[in-house]
Structure 1
Amino acid sequence: MKLVRFGEAGQERPGLIDTNGDLRDLSAEVADIDGAALAPETLARLAALDASTLPVVNGAPRLGPCVGKVGKLVGIGLNYSDHAAEAGMDVPSEPIVFLKATTAISGPYDDVQLPAGAEKVDWEIELAFVIGTRARNVSKAEALSHVAGYTIVNDVSERAWQAERQGQWTKGKSHDTFAPMGPWLVTADEIADPHDLGMRLDVDGERRQDGSTQTLIFGIDHLVSYLSTFMTLEPGDVVTTGTPPGVGLGMKPQVFLKDGQVMRLEIDGLGVQQQTCVRQPST
């Protein structure tokens, strides 16, 4: 299934995309696409519905982030071998973990803010997985059974704030709109192999990133197991798994986002998202 949330920001309703590409309203079935809706028994009930009997949503409503009420948004850094090489850094021996503020989450077609005073805002296409059942100290063998589905996250990053302002990466990753999510959550049963997905990002129509999850250093099963030893992963938590090469930081000379530029992101089987960069005025 392709599960979505549609409507104005803060007032999104649950929906699904049927086999014809039509948006159907799920409001009579679940309150939201959130942790409660991602339980295996609820997903099974939704999958058993005859989508043609659900109300069609006419027009072109805004698509919001495909998961609501996200409790934790966890990031993994330097998780592609070719991206580590691009950054001139050693392949990590363990996953590099950081947190993004959940207030950074935005819709897949919402504008991305370039904060006043920020000059090194960068793009990062990432495969994200969403937890469906609580994971605490789980083994790699059972890890994927805790994943409800997959989506795209643009891990937008202000590099100066991330690396030049002391402390942890979180403050370079957490500004409002720095985590566009969607367009939809694709349930895990529809993704045959999350470790074999092509991923592409363009800026103003120019290809910047063209990679594959085949070069992930730590796979989804490893990450679920690893993270669950340090924190309990709850239904609706989102983990974004790293980016392939082609970020602005790695270019020579470095290139960063400017007002009015358009990013387009696509991962095989997970759809397309697109954002326009908008410079925020000084206060």
Structure 2
Amino acid sequence: MRYYQLGNGDTGRLVVSTGESLYDLTAAKPRLQSFRDLLSAASVAERSPDDVATRHVDAEHELAPNEVDAARTVPVHADEVWAAGVTYQISEAARREESDTPDMYLDVYDADRPEIFLKSTPSRTVGPGEEVGIRGDSEWDVPEPELGIVLYDGRTVGYTIGNDMSSRSIEGQNPLYLPQAKVYDRCCAIGPSVVTDIADPHSLDLSMTIHRDGECVYSGETNTGEMVRTCEELVDCYTAHNAVPELAVLLTGTSLVPDDGFTLRENDEVDIEIERIGTLHNTVTTV
């Protein structure tokens, strides 16, 4: 099933798509205002989230697609967003190109231990239709489209789309600047949905387009099967010896990288599409 969150705070609503129709779960069960609420209820009932949601699907609370599209927000309010690096060959090559110490990225790509780092917090994370940020002190900025794993109490419960916004100029100056290149205001976008019934996350088509002044300035596509590591391996590394929060998202690495001469500008429009999950659309602003 596919889940959306509409609105924010006390006015939040949880919507489920059964594939044919959209239903307002909050209207049927007021305590289900968020995806976290659904996961909590499923945990108490010792049922799957989809089982709990199915019980509250009611034709009386069916919604039109345009009602959902107009009000979508971050589909999962994760306590933390973490990310994996250098999990695709294209990412390893791009990091070496930008860096004064290129060999270290090849070492990570081939190593037993993956690169895992804290990416974002709730106040830095935006949803579909919102603005993602490029740093005012950076000259080279790119979006990074990634499959996101949604975890509850350290266990995988679904998948979403993430945009791991990055300053390649800052990271390229020194690898120790990675936190500044990756973690800042509006540095991460999540959405538009969480999908719970993807059997194989390693066979999903992924694409990204960037439009500027109405013209397409970048277009690329790939498949998550190109990932050198498995989602299970990344989750195991993230959760090992770590006090993981109740609800988290783990981004699985950059699968598409614009050419070296490309940098984002204000008002650019970024669209990331992953098969079965949907399209995450964001515009760009300077922060």
Whether TM exceeds 0.5 here: the answer is: yes
Q: Distance in 2 between the 1:37 and 1:160 partners?
A: 45
Q: Distance in 2 between the 1:21 and 1:121 partners?
A: 38
1:36 is the counterpart of 2:40: yes
1:98 is the counterpart of 2:117: yes
1:2 is the counterpart of 2:2: yes
Say which SS state the counterpart of residue 181 (structure 1) adopts: strand
Corresponding position of 1:176: 185
Corresponding position of 2:195: 186
1:111 is the counterpart of 2:131: yes
Q: Distance in 2 between the 1:216 and 1:38 partners?
A: 31
Alignment-mate amino acid for residue 124 of structure 1: E
Q: Distance in 1 between the 2:62 and 2:31 partners?
A: 11
Alignment-mate amino acid for residue 88 of structure 2: Y
1:63 is the counterpart of 2:72: yes
TM-score, structure 1 normalization: 0.82
Change (3 A) 1:185 1:221: same
Shift of 1:106: 0.5
TM-score, structure 2 normalization: 0.81
Corresponding position of 1:210: 221
Say which SS state the counterpart of residue 170 (structure 2) adopts: helix
2:41–2:52 contact (8 Å) kept in structure 1? no
Say which SS state the counterpart of residue 47 (structure 1) adopts: helix
Q: Distance in 2 between the 1:123 and 1:37 partners?
A: 35
Corresponding position of 2:101: none
Alignment-mate amino acid for residue 110 of structure 1: E
Q: Distance in 2 between the 1:41 and 1:32 partners?
A: 17
Q: Which structure is richer in relative contact order (CA contacts within 8 A, separation 6 or more)?
A: 1
1:131–1:234 contact (8 Å) kept in structure 2? no
RMSD: 2.5
Shift of 1:55: 5.2
Q: Distance in 2 between the 1:64 and 1:217 partners?
A: 31
Paired positions, count:
262
Gapped regions of structure 1 (runs ≥ 5): 136-145
Change (3 A) 1:38 1:118: farther
Say which SS state the counterpart of residue 4 (structure 2) adopts: strand
Say which SS state the counterpart of residue 160 (structure 2) adopts: strand
Out of 168-177 and 118-127, give the one that drifted further.
168-177
Q: Identity across aligned pairs (percent)?
A: 21
More strand as a share of residues: 2
Say which SS state the counterpart of residue 233 (structure 2) adopts: helix
Change (3 A) 1:116 1:168: closer
Shift of 1:201: 0.5
Q: Distance in 2 between the 1:152 and 1:115 partners?
A: 22
Please list, as runs of the form range in 1=range in 2, the aligned pairs for 1:68-79 lying within 5 A after superposition.
68=77, 70-79=78-87
Say which SS state the counterpart of residue 35 (structure 2) adopts: coil
How big is each residue's C-alpha offset from its partner over 1:202-226, in whole Å with a ceiling of 9 and x where there is no partner? 1113443311111112111111112
Say which SS state the counterpart of residue 184 (structure 1) adopts: strand
Say which SS state the counterpart of residue 193 (structure 1) adopts: coil
More helix as a share of residues: 2
Q: Distance in 2 between the 1:50 and 1:13 partners?
A: 14
